[in-house]
């Protein structure tokens, strides 16, 4: 006679959500299996283990408990037994209150992440998109992924994103992630026509004067700090681009900096001035990095991004500039100063690596050269 224990699955409602109770006589091995699975929860009120309902739950549990127990799922129904969760409406549910991802959600997330990786999306994009989908699917953990509809997306936007006052950029990221997820993993189209994307806030870039930039660069305590900040400003780099630079990317003969595989998977070049080349030569002679142009404590490892942010904060403080300056302000300042020096905006677009010329045109709004040509009517009174 086979000694496998019997596990009975029973559908129920717990905290206004449809769940499946996992009922069996005390068994240490089964307890350990369920305890190690992140989707399982113990309920004191029901005195049993339970898992969020999904139409594939019987199959999921069969795989989990294969060769460990017999499953009796006769009591499971085709449709989920669930009261309309009124508590999810009008009340902001925080991320910590969402159900842990079940087996189906975990599998779907892995499939989505694998697809993003196969398409060589950046690490930050992969992280952003998978986190967004994870939050969305956890919100509807009482449903199977296939059951989620356009109406659910609209409700999620209203009852979770807007109710928690999340930013417009977060809302836009989630909408984009949902659309891509259903297209690539579920192979169906989510119609987001009824869900308006948030209007992007039109902000002008933060720009420093040439005198302020000079003071910040001069405030570097050592040659490495000065070289890093100077290169960001003199070539209009993003901080991530600076940290990926290697020796081979500096073309001294042609006075060019080669920026490889950056945002948008595009390579580009930026002109290197003789002053910048002289500074880099002095730095390389003094510090002799192994692989990356700027390395941290370990040779051959790139400089830490958080440490670089600390460098700019310290330099701004020593320069006695009372503005919340970030590394990106140097890039904005570079573009604006180029424009003020008479550089054609099309060249600036290429140097910065902007895909759309409209992105580059924002610098025309903060250029002193343009603004100073405007005479106030007050002057003629």
Catalytic residue selected from 143, 331, 332, 337: 331
Pairing of strands 70-72, 41-43: unpaired
For the chain, how long is the longest CA-to-CA vector? Answer: 106
Burial-class residue 242 by CB neighbours within 10 Å (0-12, 13-18, 19+): buried
Provide the CA 267 distance to its chain's centre, in angstroms. 22
Examine the residue annotation and report whether 354 is marked as an active-site residue of this protein. Answer: yes
- Are the C-beta atoms of 80 and 53 separated by less than 8 Å? yes
Angle between helices 103-118 and 123-139 (to 10 degrees): 160
- Distance linking the first and last C-alpha atoms of the chain: 106
Contact partners, residue 27, CB within 8 Å, separation at least 6: 5, 69
Catalytic residue selected from 17, 41, 108, 354: 354
Catalytic residue selected from 238, 268, 332, 337: 238
Give the separation between CA 20 and CA 53, rounded to whole angstroms.
6
- Are the C-beta atoms of 71 and 9 separated by less than 8 Å? yes
Give the separation between CA 309 and CA 325, rounded to whole angstroms.
10
Examine the residue annotation and report whether 268 is marked as an active-site residue of this protein. Answer: no
Residue that has been written with the tokens 């508590």 in this structure: 87
Catalytic residue selected from 263, 313, 318, 365: 263
Examine the residue annotation and report whether 84 is marked as an active-site residue of this protein. Answer: no
Q: Rounded to the nearest 5 degrees, what angle is found at the Cα of 74, between the Cα atoms of 71 and 77?
A: 120
- Are the C-beta atoms of 330 and 233 separated by less than 8 Å? yes
Q: What are phi and psi of 271, to 5 degrees?
A: -70, 140
Contact partners, residue 328, CB within 8 Å, separation at least 6: 206, 238, 239
Examine the residue annotation and report whether 331 is marked as an active-site residue of this protein. Answer: yes
Examine the residue annotation and report whether 363 is marked as an active-site residue of this protein. Answer: yes
Active site residues: 238, 263, 328, 331, 354, 363
């Amino acid at each position: 006679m086979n000694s496998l224990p019997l596990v009975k699955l029973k559908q129920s409602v717990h905290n206004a959500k449809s769940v499946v109770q996992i009922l069996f006589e005390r068994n240490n091995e089964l307890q350990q299996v369920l305890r190690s699975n992140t989707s399982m929860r113990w309920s004191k009120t029901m005195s049993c283990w339970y898992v969020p309902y999904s139409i594939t739950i019987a199959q999921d549990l069969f795989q989990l408990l294969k060769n460990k127990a017999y499953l009796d799922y006769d009591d499971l129904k085709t449709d989920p037994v669930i009261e309309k969760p009124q508590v999810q409406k009008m009340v902001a549910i925080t991320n910590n209150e969402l159900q842990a991802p079940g087996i189906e959600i975990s599998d779907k997330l892995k499939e989505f992440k694998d697809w993003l990786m196969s398409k060589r999306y950046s690490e930050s994009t992969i992280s952003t998109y998978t986190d967004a989908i994870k939050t969305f699917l956890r919100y509807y953990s009482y449903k199977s992924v296939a059951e989620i509809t356009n109406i659910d997306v609209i409700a999620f936007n209203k009852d979770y994103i807007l109710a928690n006052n999340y930013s417009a950029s977060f809302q836009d990221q989630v909408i984009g992630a949902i659309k891509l997820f259903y297209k690539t993993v579920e192979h169906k189209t989510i119609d987001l026509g009824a869900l308006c994307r948030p209007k992007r806030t039109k902000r002008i870039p933060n720009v420093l004067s040439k005198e302020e930039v000079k003071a910040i660069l001069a405030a570097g305590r050592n040659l490495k700090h000065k070289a890093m900040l100077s290169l960001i400003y003199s070539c209009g780099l993003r901080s991530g681009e600076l940290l990926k630079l290697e020796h081979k990317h500096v073309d001294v003969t042609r006075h060019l900096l080669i920026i490889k595989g950056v945002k948008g998977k595009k390579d580009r070049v930026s002109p290197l001035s003789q002053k910048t080349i002289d500074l880099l030569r002095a730095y390389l002679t003094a510090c002799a990095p192994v692989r990356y142009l700027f390395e941290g404590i370990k040779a051959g490892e790139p400089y830490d991004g958080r440490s670089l942010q600390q460098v700019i904060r310290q330099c701004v403080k020593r320069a006695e500039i009372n503005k919340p300056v970030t590394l990106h302000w140097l890039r904005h300042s570079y573009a604006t100063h180029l424009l003020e020096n008479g550089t054609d905006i099309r060249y600036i677009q290429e140097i910065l690596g902007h895909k759309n010329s409209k992105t580059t045109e924002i610098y025309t709004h903060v250029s002193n050269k343009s603004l100073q040509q405007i005479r106030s009517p007050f002057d003629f009174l």
